[in-house]
Amino acid sequence: MEKIKNLNKFTRTNIRAYGLIILAFIVLFPLQSTGIISNSISGQLVPICTYIVMAISLNLTVGFLGELSLGHAGFMSVGAFTGVITAICLQEVIPSAALRLLIAIIAGGIAAGVAGFLIGIPVLRLRGDYLAIVTLAFGEIIKNIINCLYVGVDSNGLHMSMTNAEALGMINGKLIINGPQGAVGITKIASFTAGILLILFALFIILNLVNSKSGRAVTAIRDNRIAAESVGISVTRYKLTAFIISAVLAGMAGALYAMNFSTIAAKKFDFNTSILILVFVVLGGMGNIVGSIVATALLYILPELLREYADYRMLIYAIVLILVMLLTNSEKAKQMRERFVYKWKKRLRKNNDQQEGLKNG
């Protein structure tokens, strides 16, 4: 009996999450392909998808593992540039854009996973504020390394340099990453469908992990580290696993994101981006996957919708943020909401009873 109840709770979340994404696709895809929604919004669809993946992957670290990471955009960056290099190198070899995109996304995920592993080893020894600061530092390090990275490809293969484009020593080669200007000459192969598929993949990974025995171990570590260790959970192993999975998904999102533009620079993935993703997660609710999806979609589209009020756009955005935080998290607001819901339910019941009474009488 108990098991069934638990299962229902999990399946309900799963159905809600998958359903929301599939519904969004069914509604938006025809609108986009027939050109009913405006170009500016239509152009935002892939970025929204990638940010949703960013938010749910960060939710794994922040919400379920309980560690504040401020360098999530760093993993996105690693994934983005690895993805771009892979896609450009394979341009001639693989003609199918969809297959190339898939390989680029996988490559981005693997590279970000390796970065997550290397960064995770020192970082996860820390806790709380210290961990947050160090992840922030690593995010900036990644940004600065890519900022002075030059990568090119010619008939001899890949060339890499940290000084300038000439130092690559290519003959008739193609420059892929041009230092501070970032990656240039990307063929835009990302599509809304790919974005939706990536979200579904990320949801599949995260929801299955969270509801598994390993997921329980991760939440147990968040709840009480010493107790977790005393029941036989390897704290280091599970922390690192969760951190790497989160990084891999961020890298995949980054690769998809980059493939939606013709050029992309490292400074796009700075501290502000990490914070933006964190805002989505906190606003949607820590450990609440569906919340992350909704919050990302709404907050990402809001500045676009407010474009006509150009001068007040960011002001309104900020006020909305503050109001939502207050309404969802202040004790008084919660009580008010509960009272309201209670009254409303009572009135509904009364009406029902009256109608029943009329019928019976």
Q: Which residues bind other proteins (CB under 8 A)?
A: 2, 213, 216-217, 219-220, 223-224, 226-235
Q: Which is nearer to other proteins, 223 or 353 (CB)?
A: 223
Q: Which is nearer to other proteins, 234 or 272 (CB)?
A: 234
Q: Which is nearer to other proteins, 199 or 242 (CB)?
A: 242
Q: Which is nearer to other proteins, 216 or 313 (CB)?
A: 216
- Cα 283 to the chain's mean position, in Å? 14
**Contact predicate 248/112, CB 8 Å:** yes
Summarize the chain as % helix, strand, coil (round to 5).
Answer: 75, 5, 20
Q: What DSSP character marks residue 150?
A: E
- Distance in Å, CB of 278 to other proteins, minimum: 21
- Distance in Å, CB of 82 to other proteins, minimum: 34
- Distance in Å, CB of 220 to other proteins, minimum: 5
Q: Which is nearer to other proteins, 159 or 222 (CB)?
A: 222
- Distance in Å, CB of 9 to other proteins, minimum: 12
- Distance in Å, CB of 292 to other proteins, minimum: 19
CA–CA distance, 72 with 26 (Å, rounded to integer): 30
Q: What DSSP character marks residue 153?
A: E
- Distance in Å, CB of 187 to other proteins, minimum: 48
Q: Which is nearer to other proteins, 9 or 347 (CB)?
A: 9
| Element holding 101 (H helix, E strand) | helix 97-123
Q: Alpha helices, DSSP H only, in 211-261?
A: 213-223, 225-230, 235-258
User: Reading across the β-sheet that carries 174-178, which strands appear in turn?
Assistant: 157-161, 150-154, 174-178
> Dihedral (C-alpha) 56, 59, 61, 66: value to the nearest 10 degrees?
-170
